[in-house]
Structure 1
Amino acid sequence: MSEECEFCEIVDRDDPDVREIYRDESVVAFFPTEPAALGHVLIVPRRHVPDIWSLEPDEAADLSRAALLLADAIREAVTPEGLSVIQSNGDTATQTVPHLHIHLVPRWKDDAIGPIWPVGTDFSEVSKEAAMLDVRDAAERLRSFTELPIAPEDRRKHLDYIQAVVTRQSAASSSAKGWLLPIVTATFGFAITQHTWPLAALGMVAVVLFAYLDANYLRSEKRFRRLYDTVARSTRRVPLFTLDPVDADEILANDAPAMSKWKKAVHTYLPKWSIWASWSIAPFYIALLLLGVGVLIASAS
């Protein structure tokens, strides 16, 4: 117990006036003296923890479990229209008791609390991007210090999962080519025999669409291969068993220019030139397009 901590007194059962509603081996929950709304609950760790920066991971897990349980209890007991979960640290953030606590506040439309966020801010895009990159870099550094080493068996399982995805992407690429050939054969063949050039054009459109589909399969396969290499070589830490190739992407430097919405869209939906020029895309689809041009000319004459 910390001296002169009113929440420690509640934890130690030294406050006869407390309205305690829940207690387990890790946390205590009670109604505040002046609730912001009927059903307002405070949750505190039993150990004296001044703020979130002093909280241990297992204590955070215990608080989270208690918050979920009590949120359900509040919903069942007072049927609010919403719920605010508030946790403040430091005087500037309006923490009035130096013992970490979580507020669960049931909310109703037009209640006495009102909005808890500013209506708007005027931060520049540059400042927002810079802050995001600073926090992201700090998170990466801290994660490398706090995470436990990955067991070899877990690493092998992770690699097996990624390899299975790579295999499926490769199979999907082969299937796309297999689906396209009958379509091209039918449209080009009918266009020549019937002298119907629109069918030849339709076949060429199919070639372009399947080329785009196949290029995206290849792009996805390459990204998963990069994730595989990252996990295998431990070049940087990624979440265990992640199947999100974004986790293997390089972290941008703080001074890297922000990507415009247009560039983000192109980056998201259009494979890079190196993908289009790869041996599994360019030779196959260019040959079909050239064939389509010949069929188009022949069927139009």
Structure 2
Amino acid sequence: MNNHCQFCRIESFKHQIICQNKNFHIIHSRSPLTKGHVMIVTKKHIDSFLDLTELEIKDFFKILKKISKSLKKTYKYDGINLFTNVGETAGQIIPHLHFHLILRFKDEKESPFNKLNNSKPHEIHKRLTREEIISRIKNIKENL
């Protein structure tokens, strides 16, 4: 645990948790690129997938499958982007391993990656209120 890391301090994202297993939290993004944008965050403080054990890798794919099915029922997405940034050069802002799961839709007017690649992405896409996040999580949990 790292006291300076926001993903190590559960109080900072407790209201965003959708589900969890032994090794991972699924949390709703505060500033989603698309509806249903969630993150899979390791419970232990590591900064790279290279540090995952074989058991943690299995747990990752189990929870990924679980949330993907729930999001499909909730949002009827057409595709998914799943990615992580490892290292500052790759764009890692929070040095704690987390994966973004971005839902894609045939009718989207702009690629979410245009927003992400902006030099100030959090100024481009809306930050949700606590109440908005809780409401979206409720809808997702109904399909878990």
| TM-score, length-scaled by structure 1 | 0.35
Q: For 1:19 and 1:28, locate their aligned partners in 2 and report how far apart those are by CA, in whole Å.
A: 10
What root-mean-square deviation, in Å, do the aligned CA atoms of Structure 1 and Structure 2 show?
A: 2.0
Paired position in structure 2 for 1:98: 95
Change (3 A) 1:55 1:79: same
1:16 is displaced (CA, Å) by: 5.9
Letter of the 1:2 counterpart: N
The structure with the greater share of residues assigned to helix is 1
* Percent identity between the two aligned chains: 26
Normalised to the residue count of structure 2, the TM-score between the two structures is 0.70
1:72 is matched with 69
Give the equivalent residue in structure 1 for 2:7: 7
Paired residue total: 113
Superposition pairs of residues 1-301 of structure 1, within 5 angstroms: 1-10=1-10, 14-15=11-12, 18-109=15-106, 110-114=109-113
Q: Secondary structure at the match of 2:112?
A: coil
CA–CA distance in structure 1, aligned partners of residues 23 and 82 of structure 2:
19
Which of the pair has more CA radius of gyration?
A: 1
Which secondary structure does the structure 1 equivalent of 2:9 belong to?
A: helix
d(CA) in 2 for partners of 1:58, 1:16:
25
Q: Is the 8 A contact 2:25 2:43 kept in 1?
A: yes
Using the TM superposition, give the Cα deviation of residue 111 of structure 1 relative to its aligned residue in structure 2, in angstroms: 3.6
Paired position in structure 1 for 2:140: none
Contact 2:20 2:63 in 1 (8 A): no
Work out the CA distance in 1 between the residues paired with 2:73 and 2:32. 18
Unaligned runs of 5+ in 1: 116-301
Q: Secondary structure of 1:105's partner?
A: strand
Counterpart amino acid of residue 113 in structure 1: P
Q: CA deviation at 1:50?
A: 1.2
**Maintained 8 Å contact 2:7/2:13:** no
Return the letter of the residue paired with 2:68.
A
Amino acid at match of 1:100: L
Higher-strand-fraction structure: 2
Runs of at least 4 residues of structure 1 off by over 3 A? none
Give the counterpart letter for 1:107 in structure 2. R
Structure 2 unaligned residues grouped into runs of 5+: 115-144
Query: Deviation per CA, 1:2-49, whole angstroms, max 9, x where unpaired?
Result: 121111113xxx226631101122211111111111101101121111
Contact 2:46 2:97 in 1 (8 A): yes
| Structure number with higher relative contact order (C-alpha < 8 Å, ≥ 6 residues apart) | 2
The residue type equivalent to 1:9 in the other structure is R
